[in-house]
Amino acid sequence: MNKEINYYKNKSIFISATNTDVGKTYACEKFLRYFASKGFKVGYFKPCETGVVNEPIDGSKMLKLTKELNPQFNVSIEDVVPYQFKLPAAPYVAKEKTTISLDFLKKKKEYLSSLCDILIIEGAGGLLVPLEEDLFIIDLIKEFESECILITPSKLGCINDTLLSIEALKNRDIDFEFYINLYKDKNDFEKVSKPFLQKYFKKLSFLQEI
């Protein structure tokens, strides 16, 4: 980790990303395994999952892993993914007439936190994906009082996406770290994007190194 996290003051880490299909679920797996290897009881929470047909694919996969790492995390998929929608779209669109309740999600987060030392929370899409007209993913991070881990891609355009997302987090005074997921255009990353990112941030962290 880039810096020490006060695990007992802030027991939740919110995994977000610059956009969809950047590697949030992969990152959740990485961090669940990492913290479990350090002796922490881990938990998992995904407030909303869209594109759900029979069961939430990402949530189910992570719940299974979490139970393997922490058998005391004996909860159902409905606890872990309380809002499940069929349409693969932003929750605000996919939910149709359902109201996504912030109070309900905060209570669910507190319940899950009571079952673990560190709760890994997975967002949907990027930071400004809407859940309600006046509620966005970035608002959940703030309301949950979580530290954010931002996952950014290695593809062309990652400089702009990374800087914009970091600007949004700083504007809301959210503590964060960011990790680059080397998965798209990774062969070109060293030449196309890394020179600026290395110069600008001095030190880069990669998801594959966890």
**Looking at the annotation, which residues are catalytic?**
46
Q: Are strands 135-136 and 130-132 parallel, antiparallel or unpaired?
A: antiparallel
Token pair, residue 193, equals 């994007």
- Three-point CA angle 178, 30, 132, nearest 5°: 60
Is 196 within 8 Å of 202 (Cβ atoms)?
A: no
Any binding-site annotation on 134? no
Any binding-site annotation on 42? no
Any binding-site annotation on 162? no
Any binding-site annotation on 59? no
Any binding-site annotation on 24? yes
Any binding-site annotation on 124? yes
Any binding-site annotation on 175? no
Token pair, residue 21, equals 């299909």
H/E element, 50: strand 48-50
Q: What is the DSSP string of 95-134?
A: TTT----HHHHHHHHHHHHTT-SEEEEE-SSSTT-EEETT
Any binding-site annotation on 123? yes
Is 113 within 8 Å of 72 (Cβ atoms)?
A: no
Any binding-site annotation on 79? no
Q: Detail the residues annotated as belonging to a binding site for substrate.
A: 50
Annotated binding-site ranges for ATP = 21-26, 122-125
Known binding-site residues for Mg(2+) equal 25, 122
Residue numbers belonging to the annotated binding site: 21-26, 50, 122-125
